[in-house]
Structure formats: structure tokens, C-alpha cells
Structure 1
Amino acid sequence: MKHGKLWSAVLSAAMVMGTTVPILAADMDGKLVVIHTNDIHGYYATAEESVGIAGVAALKDYYEAQGADVVLLDAGDFSQGTTLVNHSNGLKAAEYLAAADYDAVSLGNHEFDFGFEALKDTAAVLKAADIPIIDANVLKKGTDTPYFEANTIVETDGMKVGIFGLDTAETRTKSSPSSVKDLTFLDGQEMFDCAQAQVDALEAEGCDYIIALTHLGVDEESTGRRSTDLAEAVDGIDLIVDGHSHTVMDGGQMVGDTMIVSTGSYLANVGTVVVDKATGEETAKLISAADYAANYGTYDENLAKMVAADQAEVDGYYSQVFATTKVDLNGEKDPGVRTEETNLGDFTADAYLYAGREYVKEQGLDISVDVALSNGGGIRASVPAGEITMNDLYTVFPYGNTVALVTITGEQLLEVLEASTFCTPTAIGGFPQIAGAEYTVNTAVPYENGAQYPDSTYYAPANPGSRVTITSIGGKPFDPKANYTVAVNSFQAEGGDTYYVLTQGSYMQDTGIVDAEALISYVDSLGGVIDETYAEPQGRIKIVSEPVENPETTVPEETTEPEKPVEPEVEAPKTEAEVPATKLYTVVAGDSLWKIAQKELGNGSKWTQIYETNKKQISNPNRIYVGQELVINQ
């Protein structure tokens, strides 16, 4: 086990000055203290709402000075989020973790945001500092070999601690596919089997206490791969140090015999788990930034200076004011850009649409850019009214994605919107903010999964158009058979999140325009001011919950059964090639156009043929009625 420097002299001075010492540190002989962080996202500077990395390092020293054995762990998403770390593509984050003397880290999905080559540079810094990256379920593609380390063992006085790591398979779609193309992420039962094998191997090595260091989270959308699912599926894990869902678990959460802990995010809290080596008793506690300042009050001086110097350099680079907004721009997650239309979502999509159209004009391309989509997860913060600096811009849009143009059919666009709102009103990073079109999501209609998208944790919708209706595009009626060119960011164009269908378009052109630059150009076109036009969302997206008509509401009371279909009197065809076979179909309970097309035409995606044939009696393709007779051209 690595040991930090002792600071008894500092402790004594703190006592003389009246600094309150933490209760848990009264007598730490015979104790193991697991200090844990997760989802730091670049918030390494000490502030009113952040303990800062200098506080984390000092806390480790503090407990070691009290006689405890200390293990310091991070559960991922440490290298991306603020310009402090984004400016170096995450490299500075690794330097801070190394200086704080961490014992191990697991990767989060955002470690891949700057590309795999940048991640390998980060890994090299950690390796030089003897900090292993442990992710047993992240394999070299085509092999059973972990790309990084699977586990590590920390020897303490009287206790051997085994630690293995797991990263969410959602990384496959929450990061650009090109960043993970050489990796396989074990998921679901395969991940659980991998974890059980790790526990068994560590126990065979004589480990007394087993920790899973995971970036899995507990969000509903992650069901089947959450830390709570892991605790239920795997025997022998004593402690799960978790991240990903930014969940605050003060005191921990017990699932069976396993304790799960998570601090939230942004170093607003630092977590501690004190383990009595003799009895095995565990006590979990979160220390907030305010608690730390009031009751601990010491910070690692060298780390504080290191972060301050880097921050000053970054501030100098990004301090330029480039625009003013007269209104607050909403980039919050939930409710916000991942659940509904917001004014910042509108502004971002408008900027993509503007950049795409300007690019087409400059390049003399014979296409029109019709629509723009911005995934809500790509918008990372709100913008308050006032001056906007480059630092603000790159904090809100940190990824460095470029604007891409993709030509798809109306049917494909409908599938994109259906897939990207599959759990609405529950938050999802893929939620599509839009420009150039309007659409409605009816959350009362059940969503059904179709086939799983390749190399993705997401599924195609079984019934595109069952929940989503595209109202108009460019002020004109939506045409499922037409081609539309869509401006998106490169993450979406590569099939990230729920946008796999964009990889199947008939045309794709990466403009090379970085998304932040697109926003600057768009603001410039507005005279450098975002005015009251964006005070409220524009009404492009409607979220409704309208019950689908059922037999009780659509069939007269005296009618107990739908009438049998009547064969139409049609003139006999001269040849089968000249006139298609036609029949009348009577709608029954549970039908949708997709299901009827699947049953009668052998392909649910042919529902549009039925809709086009019967437009006079179907005003809304999401609403058909029991007893209604539809013409089917077979």
C-alpha cells in the first residue's frame, strides 16, 4: 500500500487553533478507511461548493496520521467537464489524481470523450504514478483479455483488500463509436459472470475485503447493468464504490450483504467508509464541501498551488467575452434538455442549422439543409443572462464535436425521433432538441423495443411513429418517403446514443466546423446578442399524454364484436402484375398500423402504405378505431 506523508505537526497546530476534528477519526487504529470520489468532471479547484482535490489529498493524510490504513479510489468521469481539464484533453486530471496519491481508478464513459489516443496518454500518466486503471469488463476486441487491469490488491495491516473495476457498457453509445471501436464491453449477465469470476479470484488470493469500483449508476434507464443489479447478481462483494448516475448516497445503501456508496458529483462531497478490521462493521459517511471547510479545514498546499496555476493559465486563454445574452438559457438535465424542449436547446439546434446552411452555400453544394438535431446530453450546463465568455461556451459544449450533414428518409428521421424519446418523460441523453421541424411525443402510448442496434445498448423502436408524430418540416407537411438533410454533431452522425440510423443515410459530410465555433458564428449573425426571442422555448416539441382509444371508448355500447370484414367488390384483374390484390381489414382491439402491416404485409415498416391508402378516414396515424375498415393493397 502506498503511504502519504504524515502531518502530525499540522494536526497539532490545528488543535491549538481550535479546528474541529471529525468524530470518525477519534481512534483509527485497527481501521480501514476507504476514501472515494466519483464524477469529478473537472471540478478540482477548491470552492464553496467543492472540496477540491487539495482537500481530498489532505483528508487521506489526515486519516493516515490517525493510524488508519487508507485506500483512495475514484469511480470514473474524472477527466472531462471544465476547461481546467478539457484544455489538455483530460491530461491534467490524471496529474491531479497522481499528486493526490490515488490507489486505483475505474474509467467512466466520459474518459473516452477526447478519443482513445488521448485516453491512452491519460493512462500513461496514471501508470507512471503507479495508479492502475481497473476495468475487468473492458476487453480488447475479439479477445477475453482486459484492455487495462482487471483488479488490484492492497495489503494493509491485518487485512488484504481486493479491488476490481467495471465500466458501463453504455460507453459504447454515450461516447463516439470511433473512440471505442477496438474494445468490447461485457454487459448484463456477461458482466455479472465476469464480476463473480473476479470475486472468486481475489478470494483465492486470500483477500479479506472485496471492493467493486464501478461506473454503473442506479438510473432506471440503466436497468440490467446498475450497481444495484450487480449487488443482487454477484456473491461476495463487500463494498461497491459507484459512479455514473451522480447519486448522493449519504450513509450508503445496502443490497443484501453489499454496501453501495456514491458521492454525487463535482467533489461537492467526498465519501468515507470506515471498516473495523476486527468486526467487519462498516460506517459510510459523506463529507460536504461546507462540512470539510468547517470541521477539517486543511488542504494540500502543493496541490492547491498546482491547480491554481493551471486555472490561471486556462482562464487567460478562455476569458474573452464573445457575446451577451439578455435571457437565462436553460441547459439543466432533468427537467431540462434531456426531457423537454428548452431555449438553450432551441438555440443550439438553430446554430447547427445555420452552420450547415452556411457551409452548403460556401461549398456550392446542391442540397438543402432541412432540419437540425442536438442531443440533450451534449449540452452540459446553463448560461445565465449577461456576458458569455469562451470559458462559458466550452463548459457548456466541451466535447469538440464537429457539425455534420446527413441525408436520410422521412421514415428514418421518424425512427431517430422515436428511438431518442423512447423513455420520455424520463431523462435521456439522446433527447432531440430540434430546429426546422416540429414533433409531438405522446407518452401515453407504450413504447416497444425492436431489434438491438449493432454495438449499442439501445434498440430500434418496434413501431416508429407510434409515439412520435412529425407535425411539419420547414412549415410543410412531413413526407415519410422524402429525403431530408439533417445537421447534427459528429457524435450523433457516428451513431452515438440513440442515433444509429444516421449511419445508414444516403449522404454524410463532416463540415469540420467545431460545434462551439458554430454557436459563435450564429451569435455573430445575431449581432452578438441573444435577445428575448429566446426567452422561452419556441414550441417545436410537444410532450402530451393522450390515452389511446380502446374498444370501450370507440365502439358503440351495443356492439360486442367487430363486424367481419367484407370483401370489396372489385373488378377481376387481367393479370396480377397490373392490379394488386385488395382486401378490407377490420381493426380489432390492440391493433396499430404497424401491427396490421406486419400481419397483412409481412413488414411493419409498410404501415405508411396503409396510411397513404386510407388517409381520408385516418386523420392521425396514431389513432385507429375498433371496427374501422381499412383498405389493404397486398
Structure 2
Amino acid sequence: MLVAILAALLVSAGAVSPVDAGGRGGGGHGPGHGPGHGRPDRPDFVLTVLHNNDGESDLFGPADDPEAGTISRFGHLVQRLRWQATGGPFGGWGWFGTKRGVVTISAGDNFLAGAEWQASLDRGVPYYDAVALDHLDSDAFVIGNHEFDFGPEVLANFIQSFRGRDDVFLSANLDFSQEPSLQTLVDQGRIRPSVVVRERGERIGIIGVTTPELDEVSSPGDTIIDDDLVGIIQGEVDRMRRAGIDKILVASHLQDITNELELVTQLNHVDAVIGGGGGEDISASYPLVANDVDGTPVPVVTVPGDYDDVGRLVLEFDRRGNVTGFSGGLVPVTADLPQNWFIRRHVEQPVEQYLQELATTVVATSEVGLNGVRDDVRSRETNLGSIMADAHLSAARSRAAEFGVPEPQVALQNGGGIRNNSVIPAGDVTALDTYAIAAFSNAISIIPDVARADLRAAAEHGLAGLPAPAGSFAHWAGVRIEYRVDNPMGSRVVNMVLADGTEIVSDGVVVDGPGVTVATIDFLAQGQDGYDMFEPYDFTTIGVAYQQSLASYLASLGTVTAEQYADPAAPADRERIVPLP
């Protein structure tokens, strides 16, 4: 009778079964678990893995459904699913007499630059994102690439924003011995290669790894990155098994779920992999499956990102610790869910107030829509890309003498650093818009006297991904580049001419002459995003964030005119990065 009453209450509140109802996906695997098969003998232990990844400070819902996908509703759903997995009437089939446990894992990118994150930086520790995640009591957080976008010190501050020392951040392939603030957290046990969680007398090992491409896509400082993921993970697995731990999960942030699937084929004795960083929606085939070196099927799962879904993987174990079946799916964070009052009050409301202030601060007006659509800014000249490059050139020229460096002749902004993924409509451009566009912590920097061959190499690298979109696509100021996309990579630049008429490349050949001073963001000046031709050069950062550069330039324009900045959608209209027939 009590079970029936609880079930009715949960259904009326929108509750769902963790395996079958209310979610997307939900395929079953394992002996007797396939379609048309009966259940196997009752498992000894059922483990529910609740997971998310790439929350990326997206605390509020999408514009077309703003009440869905909020972190307060996400928080409520996580707590509800956790209760269902262990104590509610939907705790899994055969729940009488079966031990049940639950672990909660975030697979990385727990914050991301933007206006919402800026509210945290302006406030200081504890950061709002951390306050919300701390309240949910997750068992493990993988360190992703975006955790380093503001450098190691900000990551350390983020971790220190968690009140208790039981919130564990994982990465087995990162060595922080050269980063004192993070090494202190290692010494305190708050950053570890792995963690062991106890549930109903069972020990569950969780091993974390971070993309080996970290130094190419973020700013990890002197963090030492080991790319031998197979050796590192298998070593941790073997160590755990020697300690008698027979339920082992890998939580990884490898940027593409195909990397996790390939990783499984080189490991053994891993029971499941929780991935992050790729943004894939696998709801139609959740969980994905790969066979390990022994031919054992291993479930591999992820969620698309933000706080739109909670992933729910159910693993069934026999008495020997073998997985006898698995199932699950994605449970959406819908607008009809209640809000977690603590997160609503202490996170969403103060951040909303901060955003409202930014949204009412007008920095310029525009006669044209400003094109920051992801695929466009990563594959062709757009008006917003040109505005950003012009802004950086203007900021660098105005402060070069103060820092004792020559004024730059050209400026460069990569498409991956333009983050709004939309066309900002004609009309008012607000401070909030500038944070949405220039979301990272990049600082304007000047690289003096870049050799012409290296400048040409930078232009070639910016074109290397074409015709596909790539974050490394370059937007330029102070130079006109003509190219042929059908030429081999590395030989696409046909002509490259500075604004004053100086030829850098003519008919595919570098013209001899003095070097060129370049303004760009420090991320690229360091040689990141594949711009390694800049690595040998010293550069000077001039104390201006790239968001400040954009806002100041827009304010100086007052009005963005159609004559100066119409979006060159047609190739014939492009004046800076010009495709030739």
C-alpha cells in the first residue's frame, strides 16, 4: 500500500523510472537483457550512475525554452533521481532483496567564460557555479579543458569554492607539481587520480582523465600532461583490483566520444566509461557499447551538455563483481520540474540581477546584424570577426608606446574565440552582448617583428581547416589575404598585402622584407590552437581583455554602419579573406 501511494505521488509530480520512463534512450544490454529476452537472475548489486558533463556555466535555459535546462531544476532532478535509485519505488527492477547504490559524476567543463561566469569572477570565491554544484554532493568531478581557460589559479579558486573536502576533482594524467596552487590541493587530497566511493558496503572506483590536447585548447600553465591514457588508466585499474575493488568506472573528458570508444578497446576490467567534452546526443542509442581487450561489452555514455539532461546508467553486478546487464537513458530537465530552492536563491537570482545590469548597458548601436554564428566565424570572413580584429588592432596601437613595443600592423582573432553563436540583431549592442561574444579571459598581446614566412604560416593555418569549419580560422585586420581552397594545405595563400600596400606574399611566394608586428590574443601568442609559429617569439600583454577591447571599440564607433561592416556572405563581397576561383 505504501509503495502504491509513493508511486502515485511521484507520477503526479512528474517523476520517472530511472531505466525506462520519461527519458530518452534506454536500451538494455547483457545476458538475458536484449530485446525479447527475459531477465537474468536477480543481481547482487545495482549501481545507478547519474552523470552530466559540459555544464559550462549555462545556468539558465535556452532562449526558446528559458524555464527548462536551468541549474536549479537540474539540481532538483539529480536529487530526485538519486532518491529513486536507492530508496524510491523506481529503484530498479527486483528491488526487494537487492542492494542498490548510486554515484554522481561530472565529466568536466564545469565552468566556461561568459557573462554568467563573469558574475562569479566579479564576486570572487565562492564562485556561483561551485556553490550550485557543491550543494548537489557529487562523488567526482573530472577536470576538463575549460577549467584551465583562466589559468591554474582560477581553477584552484573554483575548487576551493567547495565547502567540504569530500568534493574530489579527478585527473590521473595531469601532474601539478609545477603549479603550486593546484599542487596544494593535490596534497590536501582534493585533486586525485581516482577515488573510491562506498555504497551499501560495495566499493566503486572512479578514475579520471583529461584530454592530452589540453595545452592546445586551453591555458594549463606549467601543468605536465601525460598522453599515455591507456597505461595510466590500466595501472589505476590494476591497483584497484589488487585492493579488492571490482567495480570500476572511468570518467573522462576527451573532447569526442569516439575517443572514449577507442580507449575501451585497449583496456580491461573497466565496467563503464562516462565521457565528456564532445557535445554528442546519444539518446537514440544510449548507452553506446565498445568491447574491451577481452571482448567484454562496456557501456560508454555522455550527455550533450549544459544542464539540459541528467544521464542515468544502471549497472547490474553479480556477487563476483561482473556486470550482468546495463541500461539507461537521458532524463531531460523540463520546465515543469520544481526548482531547488537553495540553488535558485543563492545562485540563479544573484546571477540574474548581474545579467540584467549588463543587458541594460548599451555600448553601441548597429545598422546591421553582427554575425557570430559558429560555423560562419570558423569558415569565412564575417562582420563580427572583422570588428573583433579591428578592435584588437586599435587597442594594441593605442597602448603600444606605453609598453615600449612597436605599434602592430596587423591583428588576428581566431573564430573559436567568438562564442555567441548567433546573429546579434541590428539595434542596440549591450555589454551583455560583448561578454557573449568575447567570453574567454584572453588578453590583447603584441608580438613584435614576426618574420614574413611565419606570418604567412599563420595565414595558412587559419585556412587549413577549410572547407570545414575550424576554431583556428583566422579573422584579420590590416591585411588582405587571397587564397585558393583547392590548393594543398600549406600552399593556399596566393597573395597577402598589408593595408599600406606592402606585399608579404605574391603569387604564392613570400616577398623578402622586414618583419611584421602582430596584435592578437595571448592564447594565440602562446602558440595555442595550432599557431605554433608564434611560440619562438616574445610577446607583451597590454592589460586589456579581449572583451574590453571589443566593448571599447564599439563604444568608439558609436554606430556600426552598413557601409563599413555589412556581413560579406557572398564571396565577391569579402575584402579581407578572399577566396579566388
Normalised to the residue count of structure 1, the TM-score between the two structures is 0.72
Distance in structure 2 (CA, Å) of the matches to 1:142 and 1:515: 28
Structure 2 equivalent of residue 36 of structure 1: 51
Q: Say yes or no: does 1:92 pair with 2:107.
A: no
Distance in structure 1 (CA, Å) of the matches to 2:6 and 2:433: 39
Structure 1 equivalent of residue 83 of structure 2: 65
* Greater shift in the superposed pair: 341-350 or 46-55: 46-55
Distance in structure 2 (CA, Å) of the matches to 1:10 and 1:472: 76
Give 1:215 shift: 0.9
Label 1:16 to 1:405 Cα distance change in 2 as closer, same or farther (>3 A).
closer
Show CA shifts across 1:154-175 (max 9, x none).
2223643211001112221222
Q: Say yes or no: does 1:19 pair with 2:14.
A: yes
Give 1:9 shift: 13
Q: Say yes or no: does 1:160 pair with 2:203.
A: yes
Q: Say yes or no: does 1:54 pair with 2:81.
A: no
**Paired amino acid for 1:323:** A
Distance in structure 2 (CA, Å) of the matches to 1:433 and 1:412: 16
Give 1:441 shift: 4.7
For 1:248, what is the secondary structure of its paired residue? coil
CA contact (8 A) 1:273 1:283 kept: yes
Q: Say yes or no: does 1:403 pair with 2:444.
A: yes
Which of 359, 373, 376 pairs up with 1:332? 373
**Paired amino acid for 1:76:** G
Label 1:509 to 1:57 Cα distance change in 2 as closer, same or farther (>3 A).
closer
Structure 2 equivalent of residue 215 of structure 1: 253
Q: Say yes or no: does 1:229 pair with 2:229.
A: no
Structure 2 equivalent of residue 81 of structure 1: 113
Which of 411, 419, 422 pairs up with 1:380? 419
CA contact (8 A) 2:139 2:167 kept: yes
CA contact (8 A) 1:348 1:519 kept: yes
Structure 2 equivalent of residue 416 of structure 1: 458
Show CA shifts across 1:523-560 (max 9, x none).
1232243546323133422457x8xxxxxxxxxxxxxx
CA contact (8 A) 1:346 1:435 kept: yes
Give 1:270 shift: 2.1
Which of 275, 279, 296 pairs up with 1:242? 275
Which residues in structure 2 correspond to 1:550-561 (within 5 Å)? none
Give 1:374 shift: 0.3
Structure 1 equivalent of residue 481 of structure 2: 439
Label 1:422 to 1:510 Cα distance change in 2 as closer, same or farther (>3 A).
same
Label 1:32 to 1:485 Cα distance change in 2 as closer, same or farther (>3 A).
same
Distance in structure 2 (CA, Å) of the matches to 1:487 and 1:203: 53
Q: Say yes or no: does 1:111 pair with 2:147.
A: yes
Q: Say yes or no: does 1:473 pair with 2:508.
A: no
**Paired amino acid for 2:236:** Q
- Select the structure with the greater relative contact order (CA < 8 A; seq sep ≥ 6): 2
CA contact (8 A) 1:263 1:269 kept: yes
Q: Say yes or no: does 1:491 pair with 2:523.
A: yes
Structure 1 equivalent of residue 176 of structure 2: 140
Give 1:399 shift: 2.1
Which of 297, 304, 317 pairs up with 2:344? 304
Q: Say yes or no: does 1:150 pair with 2:193.
A: yes
Give 1:253 shift: 1.9
CA contact (8 A) 1:28 1:63 kept: no
Label 1:282 to 1:347 Cα distance change in 2 as closer, same or farther (>3 A).
same
Label 1:33 to 1:439 Cα distance change in 2 as closer, same or farther (>3 A).
same
For 1:88, what is the secondary structure of its paired residue? helix
Distance in structure 2 (CA, Å) of the matches to 1:441 and 1:10: 70
Distance in structure 2 (CA, Å) of the matches to 1:159 and 1:216: 28
Distance in structure 2 (CA, Å) of the matches to 1:241 and 1:73: 8
Give 1:202 shift: 2.3
Which of 205, 229, 239 pairs up with 1:191? 229
**Paired amino acid for 1:36:** H
Q: Say yes or no: does 1:393 pair with 2:425.
A: no
Distance in structure 1 (CA, Å) of the matches to 2:483 and 2:238: 47
Distance in structure 1 (CA, Å) of the matches to 2:113 and 2:14: 33
For 2:113, what is the secondary structure of its paired residue? coil
For 1:281, what is the secondary structure of its paired residue? strand
Which residues in structure 2 correspond to 1:286-325 (within 5 Å)? 286-289=330-333, 292-293=334-335, 297-319=337-359, 320-325=361-366
Structure 2 equivalent of residue 369 of structure 1: 408
Structure 1 equivalent of residue 288 of structure 2: 253
For 2:19, what is the secondary structure of its paired residue? helix
Which of 501, 504, 518 pairs up with 2:536? 504
Give 1:372 shift: 0.8
Distance in structure 1 (CA, Å) of the matches to 2:112 and 2:424: 22
Give 1:24 shift: 2.7
For 1:336, what is the secondary structure of its paired residue? helix
Normalised to the residue count of structure 2, the TM-score between the two structures is 0.78
**Paired amino acid for 1:118:** V
Label 1:470 to 1:242 Cα distance change in 2 as closer, same or farther (>3 A).
farther
Give 1:136 shift: 0.2
Label 1:366 to 1:21 Cα distance change in 2 as closer, same or farther (>3 A).
closer
Structure 2 equivalent of residue 451 of structure 1: none
Distance in structure 2 (CA, Å) of the matches to 1:348 and 1:11: 57
Give 1:39 shift: 0.9
Give 1:214 shift: 0.8
**Paired amino acid for 1:113:** D
Label 1:364 to 1:277 Cα distance change in 2 as closer, same or farther (>3 A).
closer
Give 1:11 shift: 6.2
**Paired amino acid for 2:424:** P
Give 1:18 shift: 6.3
For 2:519, what is the secondary structure of its paired residue? strand
Show CA shifts across 1:371-410 (max 9, x none).
1100111111135213222122112212232211212011
**Paired amino acid for 1:373:** L
Distance in structure 2 (CA, Å) of the matches to 1:417 and 1:24: 51
Which residues in structure 2 correspond to 1:526-541 (within 5 Å)? 526-529=557-560, 531=562, 533-537=564-568, 538-541=574-577
Give 1:16 shift: 7.6
Give 1:269 shift: 2.4
For 2:424, what is the secondary structure of its paired residue? coil
For 2:161, what is the secondary structure of its paired residue? helix
Structure 2 equivalent of residue 600 of structure 1: none
Structure 1 gap ranges (5+): 1-7, 448-464, 547-634
The share of aligned pairs that are identical, in percent, is: 28
Structure whose CA Rg is larger: 1
For 1:234, what is the secondary structure of its paired residue? coil
**Paired amino acid for 2:164:** A
**Paired amino acid for 2:212:** A
Label 1:363 to 1:125 Cα distance change in 2 as closer, same or farther (>3 A).
closer
Structure 1 equivalent of residue 508 of structure 2: none
Label 1:72 to 1:403 Cα distance change in 2 as closer, same or farther (>3 A).
same
CA contact (8 A) 2:364 2:557 kept: no
**Paired amino acid for 1:268:** D
Distance in structure 2 (CA, Å) of the matches to 1:418 and 1:11: 64
Q: Say yes or no: does 1:273 pair with 2:313.
A: yes
For 1:400, what is the secondary structure of its paired residue? coil
Label 1:133 to 1:390 Cα distance change in 2 as closer, same or farther (>3 A).
same
For 1:369, what is the secondary structure of its paired residue? coil
Distance in structure 2 (CA, Å) of the matches to 1:539 and 1:10: 69
